[in-house]
Amino acid sequence: MLILLAGMPGAGKEEFLKIARKEEYDIVRMGDVVRRRAEKKGISEKDIGTFANREREEHHGGIWADRTLSVLKEDRTVIDGIRSQSEVSIFKSELDREANIVAIHASPETRFERLKERGREDLPQTWEEFRDRDKRELDWGLGKVIARADHMIVNEGSLKEMHEKSRELLEKLELEYEDD
């Protein structure tokens, strides 16, 4: 079974991944593929978004999906960081597995607060930077992926609630997969 995980920055994808890992899913982060490639080219953490975008423009919208295919191993995998419908299409056409798109959603205000708490080097410092980052992600097609998701988790509550919702959805997907 393959889960394609999408959501705006700060929505709670990482919390879903924690539960998936406990349920023995292999976790593949497209962002790790981007970071490894950027590191080889000497690109700093704060410039990774620009680098990722430039690669999409120079090659094609699904370049990061193409580059992620080579690191997939397990049958039960969650691919984190889906940003466009072209990436979804690549994974669905190249992999002979059932694929479900799971979107994690939280309001912009909630996400901005979460991102400020993270303290990562590439995090937006101001509301304007945050909105610019959202615009960049949406320009890649992330909004369309979220809108077309097979399953949606709204993450506006507690961490415990998010973990419960994640566990319930994974159980539901396992049952559906076993019934096929």
Give 1-32 pLDDT, tens digit per residue: 899 999 999 999 999 999 999 999 999 999 99
Q: What token pair was written down for 119?
A: 């303290």
Per cent of the chain over pLDDT 90 is 73
Q: In what order do the strands lie in the sheet with 99-105?
A: 26-29, 77-80, 2-7, 99-105, 151-154
Q: How many domains does the chain have?
A: 1
Q: Is residue 178 part of a domain?
A: no
Q: Is the pLDDT of residue 179 over 80?
A: no
CB 101 within 8 A of CB 66: no
Q: Is residue 43 part of a domain?
A: yes
Phi, psi of 47 (to 5 degrees): -105, 10
Q: Is residue 179 part of a domain?
A: no
Q: Is residue 72 part of a domain?
A: yes
Q: Is residue 82 part of a domain?
A: yes
Structural domain range at position 124: 2-173
Mean pLDDT of 79-105: 92
Q: Is residue 123 part of a domain?
A: yes
The CATH number for 80's domain is 3.40.50.300
Q: Is residue 180 part of a domain?
A: no
Average pLDDT, the chain: 92
Q: Is residue 137 part of a domain?
A: yes
Q: Is the pLDDT of residue 97 over 80?
A: no
Q: What is the pLDDT of residues 64-81, one digit of tens each?
A: 999 999 999 877 999 999
pTM of the model: 0.91
